[in-house]
Structure 1
C-alpha cells in the first residue's frame, strides 16, 4: 500500500516538474524569438511596428500559464482538501 502511495506521489511530482519545465522552455523561446522579430521588423519596415502584436500574445500566454502553474494548482489542492474534510465530517455525523 505504501509503495503504491509513493509511486503516486512520484508520478504527481514528475508531472508537476514537466509542467514547470515546459513553462521555462516557453519563456526562453519568447526571449530568444522576440529580439529576432524586432530586428526583422526594424530592418524591413520600421514605420509599422508589428512586433508588438506577437510580443503582446506571448505576454498573455506566458502570464496565463504562469497563473495556472503557480497560483491555480494551490487553489485546486486547497479545494480538494476542503471537500474531503467536508465529506469526512458528513460521514461521521451519519
Structure 2
C-alpha cells in the first residue's frame, strides 16, 4: 500500500509540474510576442494601435490560467480531501 501511495504522489507531482511548465511557456510566449506585435503595428499603421487588443487577451488568459493553477487547484484539492474525510467518518459510524 505504501508503494501505491508513493506512486500516486509522484504522478500527482509530475502532472502538477507539467501544468506549471505549460504556464511558464505560455507566459514566455506572450512576453516574446508582445513586442513583435507592437513593432508590426507601428510599422504598418501607427495611427491605430490595435496591438492593445491581443495584449489584453494575453493578460486575461495568463491571469486566468495563473488563478486556476495556483489558487483554483488548491481549492479543488482541499474540497476533495474534505469529502474523503467525511466519507471516512460516515463509513466508520456505520
What residue ranges of structure 1 are gaps of 5+ in the alignment?
Answer: none
Q: Cα offset for 1:89?
A: 1.7
Runs ≥4 residues deviating over 2 A: none
Taking the aligned partners of 1:58 and 1:70, their CA distance within structure 2 comes to 18
Q: Deviations over 1:11-57 (max 9, x none)?
A: 11011001000000100011100001001101110111110110011
Q: Cα offset for 1:92?
A: 2.2
What TM-score do you get using the length of structure 2 for normalisation?
A: 0.94
Q: Could you say what secondary structure the match of 1:48 adopts?
A: coil
Equivalent residue, structure 2, for 1:69: 69
Count of matched residue pairs: 94
Tell me how large the CA RMSD over aligned residues is.
0.9
Taking the aligned partners of 1:57 and 1:88, their CA distance within structure 2 comes to 44
What TM-score do you get using the length of structure 1 for normalisation?
A: 0.94
What residue ranges of structure 2 are gaps of 5+ in the alignment?
Answer: none
